Amino acid sequence: MPSRLLNIFRSISASLGAYKHNPDPLALLANTVALVIAGNQPFYPLYLHAIVGTAAWPAWLTLLTMPLFAAIPAVSRRHPLAGRMMLPIVGVANSVLAVKLIGVETAVELFLLPCVLLATILFRPNERSAMLVPLACPFAAYFVLDAAVGTPLALFSDAEYRAIIGMHAFSVASLFALIGFVFPSSTVVTHDS
């Protein structure tokens, strides 16, 4: 039985590796980050549930963006630049949704910071014009969020807010670490033979 499970794991791992593969190292970075986020998204509501109990129900709605994150490698395969642009934009959309669901007071806006980072490092010097939209999105979201999203669907106690803020800060730091860890040593596109 353990060897069968190991074979299943290897098969899934190989399929994910093939799915995220891209000859453009920056698209590969975007694909990797997108798949890690998509794979971790189902755990986010569970973490919140552990902190606040059933009041975390709105967090389940953040799963609406999971298919968008999961689709980034498919988009990148056809158009690497579009896939790279898509990651920070989908990240911003997810952050805005989360702000509406659980509120600014939870510091969920911190997730806009990795979006800014990705919007700057996923583009080459000759792609500056393509960078403008993904880079503008987190700033636009931040400056209009408070007024535009209104009252969140969930409110929490002061102690719960502190715990949620700590979880968000740790999660954002983990995203930064992941991005740094998988950042390519070269951004030159290799052509598969």
Q: Tell me the pLDDT tens digit for each residue of 90-139.
A: 999 999 999 999 999 999 999 999 999 999 999 999 999 999 999 999 99
What ranges make up the beta strands (E) of 9-108? none
Do 59 and 101 meet the contact criterion of CB atoms below 8 Å apart? yes
Task: Report if residue 132 sits inside a domain.
Answer: yes
Task: Report if residue 116 sits inside a domain.
Answer: yes
What CA–CA distance (Å, rounded) separates 41 from 63? Answer: 6
Instruction: Count the domains in the chain.
Output: 1
Task: Report if residue 9 sits inside a domain.
Answer: no
Using CA atoms, how far residue 164 sits from 45, 118, 135, 142, 149, in Å, is 11, 24, 27, 19, 19
Task: Report if residue 18 sits inside a domain.
Answer: no
What CA–CA distance (Å, rounded) separates 189 from 191? Answer: 7
Instruction: Tell me what percent of the residues of the chain surpass a pLDDT of 70.
Output: 97
Give the confidence band of 192 by pLDDT, cuts at 50, 70, 90.
Answer: low
- 159 has a pLDDT exceeding 90: yes
Nearest to 47 by CA among 167, 139, 132: 167
Task: Report if residue 77 sits inside a domain.
Answer: yes
Task: Report if residue 62 sits inside a domain.
Answer: yes
What CA–CA distance (Å, rounded) separates 24 from 26? Answer: 5
What CA–CA distance (Å, rounded) separates 96 from 84? Answer: 20
Non-local CB neighbours of 123 within 8 Å, separated by 6+ positions: 26, 84, 130, 131
Task: Report if residue 58 sits inside a domain.
Answer: yes
Do 34 and 72 meet the contact criterion of CB atoms below 8 Å apart? yes
The pTM assigned to this predicted structure is 0.92
Range of the domain at 157: 28-182
**What is the average pLDDT across 35-56?**
97
What CA–CA distance (Å, rounded) separates 138 from 124? Answer: 19
Task: Report if residue 188 sits inside a domain.
Answer: no
